[in-house]
Chain A
Amino acid sequence: MNVKIGLETHVTLSTKTKLFCSCKKGEVCPICMGFPGVKPRVNKKAVILAIQIAKILNCEIADKLVFDRKSYFYPDLPKGFQITQYHEPIGKNGYFEFEFKGQKRRITITRVNIEEDPAKIIHENIATEKSVLIDFSRSGNPLCEIVTAPELRSPEEAKEYLLALQELLDYYEVIDAHEDAVFRSDANVSIENGERVEIKNITGAEELEKALDYEIKRQSFLLSLGKKVERETRGFDGKVTFTLRKKEEEEDYGYIQEPDILPLNLEELKEEAFKTMKRPIEEEVERIAEIYKINLHFARIIVRKKLTEYFEEAAKYFDDYPTLSKFLVVDFLKCLNYSKKKPNETIKPQEVAKLLKNTNIREAKELIKEMVKEDKTFEEVESERKQKIKQKTIEEVFEEIMKNEKVREAIKQLKKGNKKVENFIIGEMLKQSYYKFTVNQIRKFLEEEIK
């Protein structure tokens, strides 16, 4: 089936204040509430971040900063118009590359523009409620709208696009990174070259896939009945899409240039934006792979998952860099994901270094779980383990060291009568039991065992 999906995704820029006023996000003032007599004041940081996003998405960047008024009536739009960029978006004709099912995909980014967030409408139950609640805390937040050409070919691909986009923008630290900062998208879907339907206001990647799945099924069903898909705008309530507006009722936004904001030449700002941008991922990857002589694949994951700083700090204390990099990518990352923590929200890099220095890899893999989950230092888990060991019997310790293949080999050798391996085994027992038992005790035990 021929499926065409285009996305318009809204991301919140990682500024301290809103787009047109000095409120910190979450607070309100007459400007972001659209009270009479107010005038907008453009946030410099927001423009810089938007320029950076345009660059990240390989767009042509505008020469001037110009805004437009997009007029329509809705309870969440305080001024009755949204200040956005229609005629001269900050970026256009770019592209975004990501991997989908092992294939490299390139999606055209038609435009990137800056606009203000409307307020939030809180529903009790859309079908039965008598009124709504309007929360203005996010009204005026600085958004970047990223619009793709209709080149996505399936709901799953659209989801992957969104996740990859989020990861990339997160890496560059241009967007809000906390839990509530999910991407909101409007999706345009058409099948078999039919009419396209717009689904508005879908939050997050999972919802996006669900909404698209449902809509495609709905459209297929219509076609199977011999009916035509109508051009319209629909909403998504988590389960189904429903009509919001038919084509005839489509809004005429009556765009005019925003007269309260004089155009600004972007030359200087572009320079500042490019200068303060994080190094592109591949450059970073090459840098640490080169300096630390580690595998490119691990280097890439470290950079993409924002573990570069963590890695480099830990590397000051543990110089087996390949082991360190593998451990971070395979084990440490798994623990972070499980505990839903960020690298700067758990144990310090030094602790990981200490862990790797003082235990074998098997133990490290075990101990790191607790260290990350409970934010325990290496000393803490070590002493706890020692306590536990102190309660172990010599049989239990023996069972533990027998997990090691080298020890099992040695025992076989010992049974055959090769006494040379005895010291090795004793050594392992001593280490594993934290010298709880004496050499003689161990020797006696071994004699019994091999019988």
Chain B
Amino acid sequence: MLKQLVEKIKSEEIDVEELVEKKIEEAKKINEELNCFITICEDYARKRAKEIKQKIKKGEATNLKLVGVPFTIKDNILTKGIRTTAGSRILLNYIPPFSATVVERIEREGAIIIGKTSMDEFGFGSFNVNVGVGFKIPKNPNDTSRVCGGSSGGSACATKTLEIPSLAESTGGSISAPSSFCGVVGLTPSYGKVSRFGLIDYASSLDKIGTMALNVEDSFLVYDTIKGFDENDETSRSEERDSELKKKLAIPKEAFDSCEKEIKEKFMGSLKKIGWEYEEVSIPLLKFSIQSYYIIAMAEASTNLARYKGIAFGAQENVEEKNFREYFTKIRSENFGFEAKRRILLGSFVRSVGYKGQYYYKALAIRKKIIEEIEKLFKNFDAFVLPAMPIFPPKIEEALSLSPEKVYALDICTIPWNLCGLPHISIPIKEENYKQLGFEVVCNRFEEEKLKKLSLEFENKLK
């Protein structure tokens, strides 16, 4: 539990430099086996540990909430001076000149970053197998022949094995999926609650930074330090809402039906343990949330990735003799992975002349309608509950062989909430082998407090 760890660090019962040294060693060892880190920033971490130690000795750390806590950060969140790649070769040697707001906020509370974790390139994946050119696929800590889930696979793996929290990111379910597959708690806040300044963009209207930890209380503790309006991100918003507790849960039928039999059984078993009243609800539009999400996400991604073309940062080479089309095409084609290229191209396609109405604008309409439908349902229920993923972690080769449209469809348990910007959490249902499953709870927009209340209770009952 983070609170206790922080107390022990403040009282110097645990020596912060020793702790950090221990975690660095563990990280290096784990990484050799599981490939969950892209960068382990040991020098930086040691320097920070020294600083924090000074602060503690001077008595300046008494009010800080994360003093000495080692953290990992998903590699699409900028850390000043520490290489940040977004999992892509096109940023293989990129050193950010500034840190993301969330990084500044946790460091202000005394957090110590020890490494940047593996991810699908730019977030383009659900299994963390779409890694960038030359990057390694992280392995599931419960069964190393299987995937971690994605796109925040490295973060989930590191959180599970090193037992330290992580800042991760979700666009379509990239916190819930790996949390579910690896067996950690993954919290995805409402869109806008956490600043995206310094997050390498995938889809600007869908990206959310969230937290991973070993328990619900810790995931919210970290969330509390990063949440809130940031003037550097004009889409951020500090709003907090509450609603009457109805003590009723809803199971979204269309998502639940897509799950494997064993998943459904495991989930229903847990639901019974929780003991709340529940009802299956049908949202017919839900199955189209997949199309709506991917169309919007790819369209936005295709614009967000247009800055990577070999000028001023990222992969660059000799420009002479090539005209700009040749140069840009070479840099981009050689340094983007296949999935990244696919999403850029399909994203350009769906917003192109002649197709924009039937794809892009239609997708926006679907999104709006789903938001309205779900809003109505929240009048009668406190939360949606369902399995975080419809399958157990597949083997790595299996994941690599799946055709893309099948992979996209497997996001059904997370995409609807991500599309609508709703806060949700994945709580691991205790399991020893690879058959990990996250119990997902979804609340209404800006109702993080209610989500916290529910998840603490459910976690307790699922122990």
Residues of A within 8 A of B (CB): 30, 33-42, 69, 71, 73-75, 78-81, 130-131, 134, 136, 252, 254-256, 259-262
- Contact: B197 with A39, CB < 8 Å? yes
A73: chain B residues at CB < 8 Å are: 306, 309, 324-325, 328
Q: Are B303 and A80 in contact (CB under 8 A)?
A: yes
Which residues from chain B contact A69 at a C-beta distance below 8 Å?
303
Does B402 have its Cβ within 8 Å of any Cβ on chain A? Answer: no
Pick from B234, B311, B321, B324: contact of A130, CB under 8 Å: B321
Known: A37-B198, A80-B306. Is A259-B300 also a contact (CB below 8 A)? yes
Collect the chain B residues with CB atoms within 8 Å of residue A35's CB: 96-97, 307, 312-313
Which chain B residue lies CB-closest to A261? B234
* Chain A positions within 8 Å of B224 at CB level: none
Q: How far is the CA of A131 from the CA of B321 in the complex (A)?
A: 7
User: In the assembly, what is the distance between CA of A75 and CA of B197, in Å?
Assistant: 25
Is A30 within 8 A of B321, CB to CB?
A: no
**B232 and A41 form a contact (CB under 8 A):** yes
Asked if B320 is at the interface of the complex by the 8 Å CB criterion, the answer is yes
Q: Which of B8-16, B51-59, B200-208 contacts A (4 or more CB under 8 A)?
A: B200-208
Segment touching A, from B170-178, B260-268, B335-343, B347-355: B347-355
What distance in Å separates the Cβ of B229 from its nearest Cβ neighbour in chain A? 12
Residue contact A39 to B234, C-beta cutoff 8 Å: yes
Contact partners of A80 in chain B: CB under 8 A: 303, 305-309
Q: Is the CB of A81 within 8 A of B234?
A: no
A/B interface sample: 9 pairs, CB < 8 A:
A33-B312, A36-B94, A37-B198, A39-B234, A41-B234, A73-B325, A79-B306, A259-B205, A260-B204
Contacts of B84 in A (CB 8 A): 36
B325 CB to nearest chain A CB (Å): 7
Q: Are B100 and A259 in contact (CB under 8 A)?
A: no
A36, A252, A255, A260: the one within 8 Å of B234 (CB): A260
Contacts of A75 in B (CB 8 A): 311, 324
Whether B319 contacts A131 by the Cβ 8 Å rule is yes
Instruction: Find out whether the CB atom of A130 lies under 8 angstroms from the CB atom of B320.
Output: yes
Task: Give the shortest distance, in Å, between A40 (CB) and chain B (any CB).
Answer: 7
Determine which residue in A131, A259, A261 has the highest number of CB atoms from chain B within 10 A of its CB, and name it. Answer: A259
- Residue of B205, B328, B352 near A252 (CB, 8 A) is B352
**From B308, B313, B351, contact of A254 by CB (8 A):** B351
Q: How far is the CB of B79 from chain A (nearest CB, A)?
A: 10
| A136 to B97 CA separation, bound complex (whole angstroms) | 17
- Residues on B with beta carbons closer than 8 Å to the beta carbon of A259: 203-205, 235, 300
Q: A39-B197, A254-B352 are in contact. List 10 more A-B contacts (CB 8 A).
A: A35-B312, A36-B201, A37-B198, A39-B196, A73-B325, A73-B328, A130-B321, A256-B360, A259-B205, A261-B234
Q: List A contacts of B305 (CB < 8 A).
A: 80
Interface string of B94-135 (1 = CB under 8 A from A): 101110100000000000000000000000000000000000
Report Cα–Cα, A167/B307, bound state, in Å.
37
Q: From residue B232, how far is it (CB to closest CB) to chain A in Å? A: 6
- Kindly state the separation between the CA atoms of A71 and B352 in the bound complex, as whole angstroms: 11
Chain A neighbourhood of B313, CB < 8 A? 35-36
B32 within 8 A of A: no
B36 CB within 8 Å of chain A: no
A256 / chain B contacts, CB cutoff of 8 Å: 299-300, 303, 351, 360
- In the complex the two chains form, is B303's CB within 8 Å of A30's CB? no
Contacts of A40 in B (CB 8 A): 234
Question: A79–B307 contact, CB under 8 A?
Answer: yes
User: What CA separation (Å) do A256 and B356 show in the bound complex?
Assistant: 10
Interface of B is mostly: loop
Scan B417-430; emit 1 where CB is below 8 A from any A CB, else 0.
00000000000000
Report the separation of the CA atoms of residues A413 and B307 in the bound assembly, to the nearest whole angstrom: 88
Query: Most chain-B Cβ atoms within 10 A of its Cβ — which of A80, A130, A261?
Result: A80
Q: Select from chain A the residue with minimum beta-carbon distance to B122.
A: A36
**Most A CB atoms within 10 A — which of B84, B233, B234, B305?**
B234
Decide if B312 touches A78 in the complex (CB within 8 Å).
Answer: yes
Residues of A close to B325: CB separation below 8 A: 73
Q: Given the complex of chains A and B, what is the CA–CA distance between A255 and B303 in angstroms?
A: 10
Q: Which residues of A contact B352 (CB under 8 A)?
A: 252, 254
A261 CA / B91 CA spacing, docked (Å): 26
Given contacts A73-B306, A134-B311, whether A36 and B78 have CB atoms under 8 Å apart is yes
Q: Which residues of chain A have C-beta atoms less than 8 A from B94's C-beta?
A: 36
In the complex, per-residue mask of B252-273: 1 if CB is within 8 Å of any chain A CB, else 0: 0000000000000000000000
- Whether A255 contacts B351 by the Cβ 8 Å rule is yes
Within 8 A of A (CB), among B311-327: 311-314, 319-321, 324-325
B86 within 8 A of A: yes
- Is B431 interfacial (CB 8 A cutoff)? no
Residues of B within 8 A of A42 (CB): 234
The answer to the question of B158 belonging to the interface, with a C-beta cut-off of 8 Å to chain A, is no
B199 CB–A CB distance under 8 Å = yes
- Do B300 and A36 touch across chains, with their CB atoms under 8 A apart? no
Do A262 and B234 touch across chains, with their CB atoms under 8 A apart?
yes
Cα of A131 to Cα of B36 in the assembled complex, Å: 41
| Binary interface encoding of chain B residues 360-402 relative to chain A, with 1 for a CB under 8 A from any of its CBs, else 0 | 1000000000000000000000000000000000000000000
A37 to B352, CA, bound (A): 25
| B196: chain A residues within 8 A (beta carbon) | 39
Q: Give the docked Cα–Cα distance between A262 and B306 (Å).
A: 22
In the complex, which residue of chain A has the Cβ closest to the Cβ of B313? A35
Give the chain B neighbours of A81 by CB distance below 8 A: 303, 306
Residues of chain A within 8 A (CB-CB) of B405 are none
Contact of B97 with A37 in the complex, beta carbons under 8 Å: no
Which chain A residue shows the least CB distance to B306? A80
Instruction: In the A-B complex, list the 8 residue pairs whose CB atoms are closest, starting with the nearest.
Output: A80-B306, A259-B204, A259-B205, A254-B351, A130-B320, A79-B307, A36-B200, A37-B198
User: Which B residue's beta carbon lies closest to that of A71?
Assistant: B303
Which residues of A sit under 8 angstroms from B234, Cβ to Cβ? 39-42, 260-262
- A69–B303 Cα distance when bound, in Å, is 8
Q: Shortest distance in angstroms between A254's beta carbon and chain B's nearest beta carbon?
A: 4
Q: How far is the CB of B206 from chain A (nearest CB, A)?
A: 9
**Counting chain B CB atoms within 10 Å of each CB, which of A36, A40, A79, A252 scores highest?**
A36
The answer to whether A39 and B307 touch across the interface, beta carbons within 8 angstroms, is no
Judge whether B307 and A37 touch: CB under 8 Å: no
- Given A42-B234, A73-B309, verify A37-B303 contact (CB < 8 Å): no
Asked whether, in the complex, the Cβ of B232 is within 8 Å of the Cβ of A39, the reply is: yes
Bound-state CA distance A168–B233 (Å) is 36
Contact B199 A37 (CB under 8 A): yes
Residue of A with least CB distance to B206: A259
> Is B244's beta carbon under 8 Å from chain A?
no
Which chain A residue lies CB-closest to B207? A259
Residues from chain B with Cβ under 8 Å of A37 in the complex: 78, 96, 100, 197-201
- Give the chain B neighbours of A30 by CB distance below 8 A: 97-98
- Chain B residues within 8 Å of A33, by CB: 312
Is B432 interfacial (CB 8 A cutoff)?
A: no
Nearest neighbor of B99 in chain A, beta-carbon distance: A37
Nearest residue (CB) in A for B77 is: A37
CB pair B320 A131 closer than 8 Å: yes
CA distance A121 to B78 in the complex (A): 29
Closest chain B residue to A258 by CB distance? Answer: B204
Question: For the complex, what is the distance from the CA of A37 to the CA of B76, rounded to whole Å?
Answer: 9
Residues of B within 8 A of A74 (CB): 324
Contact of B86 among A36, A39, A131 (CB under 8 A): A36
Complex alpha-carbon distance, A30 and B200, angstroms = 13
Q: Which residues of B contact A260 (CB under 8 A)?
A: 204, 233-235
Q: Do residues A78 and B328 form an inter-chain contact, with CB atoms below 8 A? A: no
Q: Give complex CA distance A282, B313 in Å.
A: 52
A36 touches which of B96, B311, B320 (Cβ 8 Å): B96
Residue of A nearest to B329 (CB): A73
Report B47-90 CB contacts with A as 1/0, cut-off 8 Å. Answer: 00000000000000000000000000000001000001010000
A221–B98 Cα distance when bound, in Å, is 57
Q: Does B231 contact A (CB under 8 A)?
A: yes
**Min CB gap A405→B, angstroms:** 71
B residues near A136, Cβ cutoff 8 Å: 312
What separation, in Å, do the CA atoms of A75 and B312 have in the docked complex?
11
- Of all chain B residues, the one with the shortest Cβ separation from A35 is B313
